Amino acid sequence: MASLKPEEEKFPFVDIFDEDETERNFMLSKPLCIIIFGKPGVGKTTLAQKISQTWKCTLVEALPLLEEHIATGTQLGIMLNDLLIKGQSIPDELVLRILLEKLHSLEVIHFGYVLSGLPFLSEDTVTVVEQIELIKNLSLKPDIIINIKCPDYDLCQRLSGQRQHSLTGFTYMREQWDPEVIENRRKKKKEGKKEGKEGKGEEEEEEVEEEEEEVFIAEMQIVAEIFRHLVQRPEDFTENIEASIHHYRDEILRLLEEMMADHDSQFLIELNGNKTAEELHKSVIDRFDCLGLRRAAVITRLQSSEEELSDGMDNDELFRTLSSYKLIAPRYRWHRSRWGRACPVALKEGHIAMGLPDLSVSFLGKMYCLSSEEALKAFMKNPRPYLLPPMPIPPCKVFVYGPKSSGKTTLCNLIAAKYGGQVLDFEHLMEPHVEEAKKLFLEKSKTEATEAAIKSVTERLQVEKLIKKHDLKENENKSDELKLEEKDSLKKIGDEEFTDEKSSENKAPEEKSGEELSSEQNTEDHSSEKKAY
């Protein structure tokens, strides 16, 4: 029985939850995660934006994420921009992938999230059941479910009265652009004030009426300016609104109700969608306060636009100056942290680097100095990994050496496993460089061999070309000699023929004269015969 008695505390009046323990518990705690359900156009996105601004958690919404990717020019953003330029729609599968990447980011791990827009109405690539399973299996599951309810008729009337400014893209409700609705609202307000101000003086009433009249005139002037630019979007047509609401009620609502039934009813908030966005936001924040939920811890840059801090400032002077920047209360100053001026990010990575005064921040009431812009970005996204115990500890570097096969690698791995260190094996670190050098050497050898082969082939072709050219020249010379010989022979033959012809011509006259004499004698004989006759 004596063993069942509780042990007496040595120091019963000492607060065991000291500041360091409180910080550690906070940094190990899960951030607040919220998801908002409701019919299409009921106001989920507007409420999510207001909650994220008030509760300092990350807004996870499809449109801002897509715009961020396109603006930063990431590989995914370039692909999205190409799809939009071609006039194609972004597939739901790609949008879901972007949302899941954001939900697993370092920023969300620290600040938490407000998620709206899931599940999608279309089931072209991912079904509603699969989307709900993805929500249930998130590493940071939703703590709070907000369900905005609104009757179908009221929602149709509200959405069909929406108009969009063709130049700015801003959406106006019917109460903001319809002159009749504005006039009726003004009359009702007047009647209500008359009933409540029966005991007040006439002068005060006149002043109030004049102010209200001025406000009304200014409002009507604004309405007149924007009215000609207002257009109605296709999704705000009554038939399209009714179709989307019926699809939500028939295909999605039952599955969401099952999910909400399994959730803790204490953390299920149901809202009236007929109220304004400001009223819904106020009721949600009041409910959070009643539940004792904790806001996300914000990291604040400690900068002064008037005074520039030099890098050579003394630490005491630096922290005294920084402690008075951006105070959350008149007498509440920022305190020094155990890191001093050392950069928490660099210390976590294993080396000591002093922070810069211009890159100082405050977190959980303490000041931290960062050493570079990259370290500042990493710390602003999620400071928890750099501040959790056993940090801050100076980097301990152990060098193990010995003869071959003496167990150096095994000992290093055991020490690293025991103390959470990192093993730097020379051979292991050199492997990628050696492989890269081999690859470069092979590529260089291949290039050189190819160039040498091309050069040798080119030279051989040139030599062959020269030989062919030389042979052609010799053949041409030979042909010229043959032609000359032929000409000479032909000339000789011609000369011989010419001499023969001359000799034959000399003989021909002598023969001709003999023949002529014989012919003349014959003619004479013939004529004498005629005479005798």
pLDDT at 18: 74
CA distances in angstroms from 99 to 16, 46, 63, 116, 347, listed in the order given: 41, 18, 10, 10, 32
Peptide bond preceding 6: is omega within 30 degrees of 0, i.e. cis?
no
Q: Which residues of the chain have pLDDT under 50?
A: 1-6, 512, 517, 527, 529-533
Helix (H, G, I), strand (E, B) or coil at 43: coil
CA of residue 44 relative to chain centroid, distance: 25
Task: Give pLDDT, residue 498.
Answer: 63
Cα separation, 158 vs 40, whole angstroms: 12
Cβ distance 135 to 255 under 8 Å?
no
Q: What share of the chain is helix, strand, coil (3-state, %, to 5)?
A: 60, 10, 30
SS3 148: strand
SS3 at position 74: coil
Distance CA 430, CA 527 (A): 139
For position 221, what pLDDT does the model report?
Answer: 76
Q: Which residues contact 480 (CB under 8 A, 6 or more apart)?
A: none
What's residue 205's pLDDT?
63
| Position 120, amino acid | F
174's enclosing H/E stretch is helix 174-177
Output the six-digit token pair for 18.
Answer: 């000291």
Question: Does the bond joining 385 to the residue before it have cis omega, within 30 degrees of 0?
Answer: no
pLDDT of residue 100: 92
Residue range 85-99, pLDDT digits in tens: 998 888 888 999 999
d(CA 32, CA 15): 27
Taking residue 343's Cβ as centre, other Cβ atoms within 10 Å add up to 25
Global model pTM greater than 0.85: no
DSSP 424: -
Given a contact cutoff of 8 angstroms between Cβ atoms, the answer to whether 270 and 149 are in contact is yes
In sequence order, which residues have a C-beta less than 8 Å from that of residue 243 and are 6 or more positions away?
none
What is the per-residue pLDDT for 529? 46
Q: Which pLDDT tens digit goes with each residue over 191-200?
A: 666 655 555 5
Distance CA 72, CA 78 (A): 9
Give the Cα separation of 18 and 15 in Å (integer): 6
- Helices 202-227 & 179-196, crossing angle to 10 degrees? 170
- The strand pairing partners of 112, in sequence order, are none
Query: In whole angstroms, what is the distance from residue 526 CA to residue 516 CA?
Result: 15
In angstroms, rounded to a whole number, what is the distance separating the alpha carbons of residues 14 and 18? 9
Terminal CA-CA length for the chain: 203
